Amino acid sequence: MTTCSLCGHEDLSFTCPYCNGVYCGEHRLPESHGCPGIQKVREDAKRRVSDSLGFDDYEEENQTWTPIMPKKKAKRKTSKKSRFSITEKRDLLIASILVTLVSISIFGAPSGIINGIIIFYSYLTSANWWVPVGMILIFLLSFMGHELAHKFTAQHYGMWSEFRMTSMGYYLSAIAILFSIPIFGTGTVYTSGATSGENNAKTNLAGPLSNFLIASGLVIVALIAVLLLNPTSLFYIMFLVRYGIIINSILGLFNMIPIQPFDGATVKDWSKPVWIVLTIALISMLIIAYLVLPMLM
């Protein structure tokens, strides 16, 4: 039994012949661990197929691949492979539980989780039970939307990407739950095999951008609510909207700090104008939440 150099899981060892890394059964394939020699893997696969069929259609110099039957289009098989590994699903579930506990703890601020549970339960037994439930869902969407935006953008550019809980994440979550502090730090998305610096920057940009888009969507909800709802219902809807905008704006701005390891450092190095525009946009969301929306309530 050895330790996987990617996820740290103890399992039977598999040594990748292309990068010489040692991996567990789940990450033993080059595609599963973002092997830097993935291009060599593809070239070897094409060469083996060509040799087995007795065709000499593979050209080493130009790195081209000629179809054996060009007149007949081959059907592309749809990959049924999940975008989420078993380990990642487990870590996402743990993170979701911790984020939910943090959001409940905030109800009892500054007394912590016990007082938060008491207040949360009192709301659940009232006619406005949907308000605290909505707050928890918004809190969960803000965090998960941010992390999954990183993951799916990285996968779009052909990179390996998975969410992992971290030791620091457990510590920060414990502090947040015990002291009712809205800390976003349960885990992080790891990526490897970046195709270019630009794609890597766009992957980092995706998280804060998702928070801006969620906040913008909530502003639209607020405008519609003002036109359609009565004063009593409007008050609670605007309360949820302001809460969501503030949470997403703070999360986005926190990650746009232009210092490593924050997303903003990579984004600013790639494009300073993009970093400035998104930072100003997130600040504008905070201004709307604190100054504009209260006048509409």
Q: Give the model confidence (pLDDT) of 86-117 as tens digits.
A: 999 999 999 999 999 988 888 878 788 888 89
Query: 3 versus 255: which is more confidently predicted?
Result: 255
Q: What are phi and psi of 160, to 5 degrees?
A: -80, 135
pLDDT at 142 over 70: yes
Query: 59 versus 208: which is more confidently predicted?
Result: 208
Cis bond upstream, residue 36 (ω within 30): no
Model pLDDT, residue 45: 62
Model pLDDT, residue 246: 93
> pLDDT tier at 50 (50, 70, 90 boundaries)?
low
Mean pLDDT across 8-21: 72
Structure tokens at 207: 């998280």
Model pLDDT, residue 285: 95
pLDDT at 159 over 50: yes
- Collect contacts of 255-258 with beta carbons under 8 A, ≥24 apart: 255/146, 255/207, 255/208, 255/211, 256/208, 256/282
Model pLDDT, residue 12: 64
Q: What are phi and psi of 195, to 5 degrees?
A: -80, -25
pLDDT at 61 over 50: no
| Distance (Å, whole) CA 139 – CA 208 | 15
Model pLDDT, residue 83: 77
Residue with tokens 């309530």: 297
> pLDDT tier at 11 (50, 70, 90 boundaries)?
low
Mean pLDDT across 263-270: 94
pLDDT at 7 over 80: no
> pLDDT tier at 263 (50, 70, 90 boundaries)?
very high
Mean pLDDT across 138-149: 92
Task: Name which of 32-41, 77-86, 165-174 the model is least confident about.
Answer: 77-86
Query: 71 versus 137: which is more confidently predicted?
Result: 137
Model pLDDT, residue 187: 85
Which residue ranges form the domains of the chain, and what is each CATH number?
2-61 (4.10.1110), 86-296 (no CATH)
Cβ atoms of 193 and 169 closer than 8 Å: no
β-partners of residue 187 are 165
Mean pLDDT across 49-60: 50
| Distance (Å, whole) CA 259 – CA 51 | 51
Mean pLDDT across 41-49: 64
Beta-carbon contacts of 295 under 8 Å, excluding residues fewer than 6 positions away, are none
Model pLDDT, residue 232: 81
How is residue 292 annotated by DSSP? I
Number of Cβ atoms within 10 Å of the Cβ of 221: 16
Average pLDDT, rounded, for the chain: 82
